[in-house]
Amino acid sequence: MRDAKILAAAAAALREPAGPGAALAPQRVQAEPEQLEPYGRDESDLGTHLPDLVVLPESAAEVQRVLAVAARHRLPVTPIGARSGRSGGALPLAGGIALSLERMNRILDIRPEDLTARVQPGVVTGVFQAEVEKHGLFYPPDPNSLDMCFLGGNVAENAGGPRALKYGVTREYVLGLEVALPTGELLRTGKQTIKGVAGYDLTALFVGSEGTLGVVTEITFKLLPRPRHVSTALVVFRSVEDAARAISRVLAAGVIPRVLELLDDTALAACARTAPYKFPADAGAAVLIETDGNDEEQVFGEIVRVAELVQADASGEVIVAQNEAQRRDIWETRKKLSVNLRALHPLKLSEDIAVPRSRIPEMVRRTREIGARHGFLVATYGHAGDGNLHANVLFDREEDRPRVEAAVGEILHAAVDMGGTITGEHGVGLAKRDYLVYEQGEAQVALQRRLKAVFDPLGIMNPGKIFPEPEGAKGAAGKGVE
Amino acid sequence: MRDAKILAAAAAALREPAGPGAALAPQRVQAEPEQLEPYGRDESDLGTHLPDLVVLPESAAEVQRVLAVAARHRLPVTPIGARSGRSGGALPLAGGIALSLERMNRILDIRPEDLTARVQPGVVTGVFQAEVEKHGLFYPPDPNSLDMCFLGGNVAENAGGPRALKYGVTREYVLGLEVALPTGELLRTGKQTIKGVAGYDLTALFVGSEGTLGVVTEITFKLLPRPRHVSTALVVFRSVEDAARAISRVLAAGVIPRVLELLDDTALAACARTAPYKFPADAGAAVLIETDGNDEEQVFGEIVRVAELVQADASGEVIVAQNEAQRRDIWETRKKLSVNLRALHPLKLSEDIAVPRSRIPEMVRRTREIGARHGFLVATYGHAGDGNLHANVLFDREEDRPRVEAAVGEILHAAVDMGGTITGEHGVGLAKRDYLVYEQGEAQVALQRRLKAVFDPLGIMNPGKIFPEPEGAKGAAGKGVE
């Protein structure tokens, strides 16, 4: 716990009418235990890490005030979105101030003429998507948590989703940012135009920086016209190898579906528990495919083309949705996967690696072997089109967690050894900070620390994230209040 | 001129068998005036700035040697590609070492399975495109100079081109980089996978950094399947306003053509000199449109759809190419524009602004007014789909250049005032460094200088580019050896 006097002084300073930035209304500076508690957790399974204060700014000027007070009192600041992250990026690891963006949730403008929109960071991703669709527009990134996650969190983690294959990840849609820095500046990076190359790409540097450089207070997005039609198909294969071969054939034919979701045998068996289909007895993998576009006939024609291309490798019939109800059936099968896996084994630790697409079968094989060696079943699924796989180590008892973590460590190393990465879309956060050096080397990690120091010389922004702790500090910061 | 002793020592050190990195063969360290001369110019009209030495490394290790020697002797290093840049980014402004990447011109691998390729920086863009097409693949960025420019230069300047509307700019295709830093490290940034979010996006920071942070020695590109069919149309309008309205209607209908090139009345009048078409007497603008895809019928269907959408605003018939010869005719009309403009006025200064698409008519009007006030005709053309306009101030006598530059300054300010940028795709380089603060503000420019210092603490990498010179130094560095 921090010195109570410092915290009281900081809380008072946040509410003072004078000083840099704008003062916060008293009820938006919270220090009661029941107020702090919800801000100590996220969806990462990495325990509870309580902040000392929760502050709820409503403007960039208020965010600047928070950072000024934090800098004066050397208090850590953790920017917090919807707490839906899976890598612990928003856990207030070192206590201090939990800076929640939940009240900065306005869509500022949507410009169909320019195909752009400006938003505050606390807008829920799914709400934003629905709103731009009313204007005939399309915001493609679709992280699994889109019904609850915030756009600011998506920017901080550079979120992806199934549609990334055709449409790219969050980064591809961020034209410009307004960012409050811990040194006091309010920056406007990037541009309001589709193109622009003036100076360094600070916008890209902030996207995916996991709240370690500053606080994003406004985002300008690029949008697309909304594709009017979508076609969906489900194909079952005997093995992941067969599925991978079929996927390569589709891409080689010049078709880029908007979704190419792979399920391995364990994942498929779990799905089979509630699926409206009876999968063939020799089913060892499945792929969910979607094409989209503006012309209904053409979109359906493309999915039929895909079905023809994969038929040779498929086991049994290719299921092409003929209407919206059938389309929903296919997606429900995929969406119930997580629940069905938990019915097999109550606990799971989910990984988020990416490998070059040609290495997918090898990677799925390796994860299975690693799991088996440690005595665990592994279910792998993910975005096969771009090589991003979620390997889920399934287990039954909390006391097995250390062994599960050892298996996960081997899986991460195997991904890097195959030319891949430890995180395709979830971020490093707390969960993977000890693996970053294995992927990038000491020199590159040291360089990134020096870059962080340019933005955050006092080291108050989301400490303990992305980068491994210095040797001496190890252990302390990683421990939660379970 | 630099001290001859220092230069001799540096040249000797580059050729030494011992020392960091690999030694260069003597003939690849050049100091004769006739060897230096070609490396002092580019396509920017900013005069000749001679280097003291030209070095031609053939490997990353040799590049590391050059940087080590430069650091030891505090010699400026200017990385040089094909010298096709239009903003002076590759001019050895402060002398020192011209580090030409022309001998590092190998395509290292092309992987159709992974849709990726690895190249050295000296590969000619057009050569690379032709090579990947042999594998059924597609590298979309198409800067105008693609027959001569290098991929390394494209990365340094984040080059665009007409197809950026649908396919994005160079940045969107760079997955990872190998970069030699002036501090000695050889970094491998980014990833070999389509997705990946580990750590800060150093790759994006290097893309567009104009050789001021380090020397790119290898690039990993993402590729797409090659679209098999292209359809082309040319539409004439009475005014830029009519053209802009038609373009908005096309995009609102959900069609994203791969090309949407706008010509204003002056540009169109120049084109008319050699075009195989007789344009209507009231022609005040034209738009060149291309759609692409895999299905010939569908692609042709889409261009017909576009023709229908723009017909209401068009003046006269929409010309849709029915075959390859007609397609070539349309492009020839566009490609001869520069030559035809020079036939009207022998000199021109070309600008590269971008504005939000909805402001295009206003921007074209403003450039014309600014030109007229200074007594010059302005021809504007460019990539209307993404708001990137090339405003060409036409003039007859070299002594008018200062007045032309004053007009250009006003055009750049007007673009920023409309929410746009001083450079859509050519980079800041030397040409626009004095306008960067107007767009980004002092604080953001100061922050970028601090970032540069992290990579280049001695300030030897391409000095004098992107950022304005400190007050005291002004004037000296900007002068050429005309």
- pLDDT tens per residue, range A5-54: 999 999 999 999 888 889 999 999 999 999 999 999 999 989 999 999 99
- pLDDT tens per residue, range B278-321: 888 899 999 999 999 988 888 998 999 999 999 999 998 899 99
Q: Which of B76-80, B196-200, B250-254 has the highest mean pLDDT?
A: B76-80
pLDDT at A235 over 70: yes
Pick the closest to residue A405 from A416, A393, A417 (CA basis): A393
Q: Are A167 and A190 within 8 A, CB to CB?
A: no
- pLDDT tens per residue, range B102-115: 999 999 999 999 99
A201–B187 CB contact, under 8 Å = no
Query: With contacts defined as CB-CB under 8 Å, which chain B residues touch A450?
Result: 454
Q: Are B429 and B465 within 8 A, CB to CB?
A: yes
Predicted pLDDT at B194: 85
Query: With contacts defined as CB-CB under 8 Å, which chain A residues touch B248?
Result: 113
| Band of residue A479 on the pLDDT scale cut at 50, 70, 90 | very low
pLDDT at B143 over 70: yes
Q: What is the DSSP string of A66-115?
A: HHHHHHHHT--EEEESSS--SS-TT--TT-SEEEE-TT---EEEEETTTT
CATH 3.30.70.2740 fits A345-417, yes or no: yes
Query: Architecture of domain B229-338 in CATH?
Result: 2-Layer Sandwich (3.30)
Summarize chain B as % helix, strand, coil (round to 5).
40, 20, 40
Higher model confidence: residue B316 or residue A226? A226
Which residues touch A335 (CB under 8 Å, ≥6 apart)? none
Predicted pLDDT at B252: 83
Pick the closest to residue B385 from B231, B224, B169, B171 (CA basis): B169
Query: And the tokens for B437?
Result: 């603060």
Query: With contacts defined as CB-CB under 8 Å, which chain B residues touch A354?
Result: 191, 193-196
How many C-beta neighbours within 10 Å does residue A308 have? 11
Decide: helix, strand or coil at residue A49.
Answer: coil
Q: Whole-angstrom Cα distance, residue A200 to residue A24?
A: 34
A355–B298 CB contact, under 8 Å = no
Q: Whole-angstrom Cα distance, residue B172 to residue A172?
A: 8
Predicted pLDDT at B193: 87
Among B163, B195, B425, B448, which would you mutate to test the A interface (most chain A Cβ atoms within 10 Å of its Cβ)? B195
Q: Is it true that A229-338 and A345-417 share their CATH fold? A: yes
| Band of residue A474 on the pLDDT scale cut at 50, 70, 90 | very low
Predicted pLDDT at B473: 55
Q: Who among B191, B205, B387 is closest to A195 (CB)?
A: B387
Decide: helix, strand or coil at residue A291.
Answer: strand
Q: Which of A194-203, A329-338, B51-60 has the highest mean pLDDT?
A: B51-60
Q: What would the mean pLDDT of A86-102 be, rounded to a whole number?
A: 97
pLDDT at A473 over 80: no
| Band of residue A477 on the pLDDT scale cut at 50, 70, 90 | very low
Q: Where along chain A do its domains lie?
A: 107-225, 229-338, 345-417
Most distant pair of Cα atoms in chain A: their distance: 72
Query: And the tokens for A328?
Result: 């929903």
CA nearest to B190 within chain A = A440
pLDDT at A476 over 50: no
Q: What would the mean pLDDT of A145-174 be, rounded to a whole number?
A: 96
Which residues touch B471 (CB under 8 Å, ≥6 apart)? none
Q: Who among A111, A208, A445 is closest to B201 (CB)?
A: A208
- pLDDT tens per residue, range B330-358: 998 888 898 899 999 999 999 999 999 99
Please list the alpha-helical segments (H only) found in A274-400: 296-311, 324-335, 337-344, 360-374
pLDDT at B482 over 50: no
Query: And the tokens for B222?
Result: 């993402």
A421–B169 CB contact, under 8 Å = no
Mean pLDDT, all residues of chain A: 93
- pLDDT tens per residue, range B58-67: 999 999 999 9
pLDDT at B192 over 60: yes
Predicted pLDDT at A471: 65
H or E element at residue B219: strand B215-222
Query: With contacts defined as CB-CB under 8 Å, which chain A residues touch B171?
Result: 201, 204
Topology of the domain comprising A107-225: 3.30.465
Q: Are A110 and A131 within 8 A, CB to CB?
A: yes
- pLDDT tens per residue, range B15-25: 998 888 899 99
Q: Give the residues across from A286 on adjacent strands.
A: A236, A263
CA atoms lying within 13 Å on the CB side of residue A357: 28
Predicted pLDDT at A294: 85
DSSP class of B87 = S
Closest Cα of chain A to B27: distance in Å? 33
- pLDDT tens per residue, range A376-395: 999 999 998 899 999 999 99
Q: Who among A227, A248, A425 is closest to B195 (CB)?
A: A425
Q: What would the mean pLDDT of A196-208 be, rounded to a whole number?
A: 96
- Tell me the CA distances in angstroms from A209 to A204, A465, B401, one per residue in order: 9, 10, 45
pLDDT at B90 over 70: yes
Predicted pLDDT at A338: 85
pLDDT at B219 over 90: yes
pLDDT at B481 over 50: no
Q: Are A83 and A39 within 8 A, CB to CB?
A: yes
First to last CA, chain B: 16
Q: What would the mean pLDDT of B133-162 be, rounded to a whole number?
A: 96
Report ipTM for this prediction: 0.94
Query: With contacts defined as CB-CB under 8 Å, which chain A residues touch B227?
Result: 254
pLDDT at B56 over 80: yes
pLDDT at B1 over 80: no
Predicted pLDDT at A297: 87
Residue indicated by tokens 């020079």: B342
CA nearest to A296 within chain B = B298
DSSP class of B24 = P
Q: Who among A198, A254, A354 is closest to B436 (CB)?
A: A198
| Band of residue B475 on the pLDDT scale cut at 50, 70, 90 | very low
Q: What would the mean pLDDT of A308-322 be, rounded to a whole number?
A: 91
pLDDT at A304 over 60: yes
